[in-house]
């Protein structure tokens, strides 16, 4: 049967189908294929350009790139150095990173923050001196990044400077300093953490209790027990249910280090009754660990 033998009705139907097919192809299929091709092209170019980039390329971009390029390159550098296998061991890298960091004083704060994070993630204690030296008179937005990185490095020489930061008027600085001292530990750090249990900021108190527990010190046990009580956490309007879950899991995992009978009893209660399965699971695991150690 040829096209000429079709009835008018069938011909109209076929023409409509043909037109509809053109519309679909023009407005959906072709743009979709173009979009897919564009994504694939971008991904291919991205992969090809990134494969050959080294940490020195990123350092160079931080040195001479535009403002956006500088902080993005510092960020990429901090990501790369999170992988210990990719941390350069030659003195050249250490010298260049320190030099760029020292010269970034008046740069975009993000550049300085990510460079500090990059230093911390290397695990190289030689960066501690530069970070400590720059704690004095540093902007608060950068200061917390420096303190956090010193905590990652677990630098013993940072203990005294960090204890000084516990006197800051900025609660966030005190909080991050408490966290860093908990990572570094040692007698002097532990004594300071005990003092922070009475800090006017609840978050700082909580972090001090958790840090002490992680170091198998029960000075903050009463606070830990409060953190395992949703009624207590509900008193704080800025702690939503999701944050409550995070706080409780953190408290459970740290309190498990104490091997305490009272805490074990609380773990058992939570493992059976808490409304969140993740919290119940964390409590069950802590209880199992306690029983094995008893």
In a domain, 271, yes or no: yes
**What letter does residue 158 receive in the DSSP assignment?**
G
Residue whose pair of structure tokens reads 């931080």 in the numeric block? 62
- The residue among 110, 127, 153 that closes a domain is 153
Which residue would you say has higher pLDDT here, 169 or 36? 169
Residue 59 sits in the same domain as residue 148: yes
- Determine whether 218 is exposed, middle or buried from the number of CB atoms within 10 Å of its CB (0-12, 13-18, 19+): middle
Which CATH number does the domain housing residue 105 bear? Answer: 1.25.10.10
In a domain, 274, yes or no: yes
Q: Supply the pLDDT for residue 37.
A: 53
- Extract the tokens encoding 2: 């040829």
Q: Which of helix, strand or coil describes residue 73?
A: helix
Domain housing 95? 55-153
Residue 59 sits in the same domain as residue 145: yes
- Which tens digit of pLDDT belongs to each residue from 219-268? 999 999 999 999 999 999 989 999 999 999 999 999 999 999 999 999 99
In a domain, 230, yes or no: yes
Q: Supply the pLDDT for residue 24.
A: 44
Per-residue pLDDT at 75 exceeds 90:
yes
Is residue 208 within 8 Å of 227, Cβ to Cβ? no
Is residue 129 within 8 Å of 116, Cβ to Cβ? no
For the entire predicted model, the pTM comes to 0.79
- Which tens digit of pLDDT belongs to each residue from 79-120? 999 999 999 999 999 999 999 999 999 999 999 999 999 999
Is residue 254 within 8 Å of 214, Cβ to Cβ? yes
Per-residue pLDDT at 285 exceeds 70:
yes
Per-residue pLDDT at 22 exceeds 60:
no
**Domains held by the chain: number:** 2
Specify the long-range contacts of residues 20-26, CB closer than 8 Å, at least 24 apart. Answer: none
Is residue 165 within 8 Å of 135, Cβ to Cβ? yes
- The residue among 153, 182, 203 that closes a domain is 153
- The residue among 103, 126, 153 that closes a domain is 153
In a domain, 41, yes or no: no
In a domain, 8, yes or no: no
Taking the C-alpha atoms of residue 146 and residue 72, their distance in angstroms, rounded to an integer, is 18
Per-residue pLDDT at 63 exceeds 90:
yes
In a domain, 103, yes or no: yes
Average pLDDT over residues 54-66: 94
Taking the C-alpha atoms of residue 12 and residue 14, their distance in angstroms, rounded to an integer, is 5
Residue whose pair of structure tokens reads 């309190």 in the numeric block? 255
Dihedral sign for Cα 200, 222, 269, 179, please. positive
**What letter does residue 229 receive in the DSSP assignment?**
-
Mean residue pLDDT of the chain comes to 86
Going by pLDDT thresholds of 50, 70 and 90, the confidence category of residue 19 is: very low
In a domain, 23, yes or no: no
Residue 62 sits in the same domain as residue 149: yes
In a domain, 27, yes or no: no
Taking the C-alpha atoms of residue 20 and residue 25, their distance in angstroms, rounded to an integer, is 8
């Amino acid at each position: 049967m040829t096209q000429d033998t079709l009835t008018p009705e069938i011909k109209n139907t076929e023409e409509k189908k043909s037109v509809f097919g053109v519309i679909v192809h023009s407005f959906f299929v072709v743009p979709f294929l173009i979009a897919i091709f564009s994504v694939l092209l971008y991904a291919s170019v991205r992969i090809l350009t990134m494969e050959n980039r080294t940490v020195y390329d990123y350092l160079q971009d931080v040195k001479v790139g535009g403002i956006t390029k500088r902080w993005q390159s510092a960020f990429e550098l901090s990501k790369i150095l999170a992988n210990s296998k990719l941390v350069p061991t030659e003195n050249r890298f250490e010298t260049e990173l320190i030099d760029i960091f020292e010269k970034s004083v008046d740069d975009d704060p993000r550049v300085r923050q990510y460079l500090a994070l990059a230093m911390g993630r290397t695990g190289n204690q030689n960066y501690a001196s530069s970070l400590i030296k720059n704690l004095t008179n540093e902007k608060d937005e950068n200061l917390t990044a420096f303190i956090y990185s010193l905590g990652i490095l677990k630098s013993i020489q940072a203990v005294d400077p960090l204890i000084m930061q516990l006197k800051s008027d900025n609660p966030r600085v005190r909080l991050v300093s408490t966290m860093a001292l908990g990572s570094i530990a040692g007698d002097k750090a532990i004594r300071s953490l005990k003092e922070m249990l009475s800090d006017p900021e609840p978050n700082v108190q909580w972090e001090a209790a958790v840090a002490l527990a992680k170091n198998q010190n029960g000075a903050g046990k009463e606070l830990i027990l409060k953190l395992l009580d949703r009624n207590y956490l509900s008193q704080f309007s800025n702690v939503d249910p999701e944050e409550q879950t995070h706080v409780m899991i953190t408290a459970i995992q740290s309190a498990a280090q104490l091997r305490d009978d009272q805490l074990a009893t609380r773990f058992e209660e939570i493992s059976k009754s808490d409304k969140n399965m993740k919290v119940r699971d964390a409590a069950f695991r802590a209880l199992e660990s306690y029983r094995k150690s008893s």
